[in-house]
Amino acid sequence: MIEIKVPSSKSLTQRALVVAALSDQTCLIQDPLDCDDSKALIAGLAQLGICLERRPDGWLVKPPESLHAPSQTLQLGNAGTAVRFLTGLAPLVPGAYVIDGIAAMRRRPMPGLLTALRTLGVEVEELGDAHCPPLRLTAGSRPDRFDAMPCLKLKVEKSSQQLSALLMAGCRLKAGLQLEVEGHLPSRSYVDLTLSVLADFGVAVERPGEDVFRVPNGRPGRARFRIEADWSSASYPLAAAWLKNTEVGISILAMTSRQGDRVFSELLHQLDEPGPARMNLVDSPDIVPTVVACALFARQATEITGVAHLRIKESDRLAVLARELHKLGADLVEREDGLLVKPGPLHGPARLDPQADHRMAMCFALVGLRLAGIEVMDPECVSKSY
């Protein structure tokens, strides 16, 4: 058996950085994931006044008494989490600052978050496409003007990161914050992850209804926080073992993790069973490409639904999967909210373009384990998370 240590959780690292930045004490984040997205978030937090010291035993986050608005634009590249989370901090930042990213990031809207910020007294100037970066955010003259807890209705549409951003910022508002999600809440497991980090830092969010969240006022606080291994990243060696009919041991994976992608092992079992596999992956969108790489070689067809929000990730993942895998002769049908994958003969060689999307590149590399002549363009893009 091959023993593999997978990277730490990107999602937990991002959330721990933001919550630690809002804390009332210095916090050591142990086993953080040092990837492109983390670097972007750290740089943005530094511009807002948070000091981070890299040490052999982790990252020491030193929160300021209050945040300050930087004079320079927060250039966050293609880090969607950083863009949403740092936009969500706007009510806590006196003055004005600009959030921006690369061209792909400028096509990723967050209307629900911007509407909520306006209700909280933030002036939001949209400098590009509607609801997308670049954005100029200016806190009102009295960001603490709410004497009673503000109650906001929030439409998150295709990104739960908008809700997570407000949940984390809410604890620093004078009266806290109540959020009620209207309509569909995708990627619910990532919201659960946000709530678990807040709880670990001493912020107990109440849930008077399934999609109602009451965040109390109070600065989080924790001296140390350890990041567990990443189930999204673990999906790749698990898939590789399935494709090559071998075994791998994945160290330090938490079987009780709140990460939604922990279901991946169960999905592999579904691919081994007779009859078509039907998977609604609304709460685990990041493992869809990994599932597709395996489904190409499964016994029967695999139908994936509930993932329309994959169209506004680093790329339109549904379209890229369909277009690039068709180069191999794959019988793959693109649908509005998912894919239908029918196994059949495939052929190489082929150059597959991940569109600078780390999860596309990893998916195509997995296909290359079973099919000769696969060339993945721009392989360095995996540094975004791996």
Catalytic positions, written as ranges: 286
| Tokens 């494709």 -> residue | 243
Beta strands in the chain (DSSP E): 2-5, 27-30, 51-55, 58-62, 74-75, 96-100, 123-126, 135-138, 151-154, 177-181, 206-209, 212-215, 224-226, 248-251, 277-280, 302-305, 331-335, 338-342, 350-352, 374-376
Residue 49: HSE in the Cβ half-sphere, 13 Å Cα cutoff: 15
Q: What is the DSSP letter of 118?
A: H
Amino acid at 78: N
Q: Pairing relation of β-strands 212-215 and 177-181?
A: antiparallel
Give me the phi and psi of 8, to 5 degrees please: -70, 165
| Tokens 């804390």 -> residue | 23
Token representation of residue 255: 């079987």
Closest CA to 308 of 140, 166, 174, 183: 183
Give me the phi and psi of 257, to 5 degrees please: -60, 150
Q: Would you state the torsion angle of the CA atoms of residues 381, 36, 124, 73, taken in this order, to the nearest 10 degrees?
A: -110
Q: Is 53 buried (19+), middle (13-18) or exposed (0-12) by CB count in 10 A?
A: exposed
How far apart CA 141 and CA 153 sit, in angstroms, is 23
Residue 226: HSE in the Cβ half-sphere, 13 Å Cα cutoff: 7
How far apart CA 264 and CA 106 sit, in angstroms, is 31
What count of residues does the chain have? 386
Residues 6+ apart with CB under 8 A from 96: 69, 123, 136, 137, 138, 139
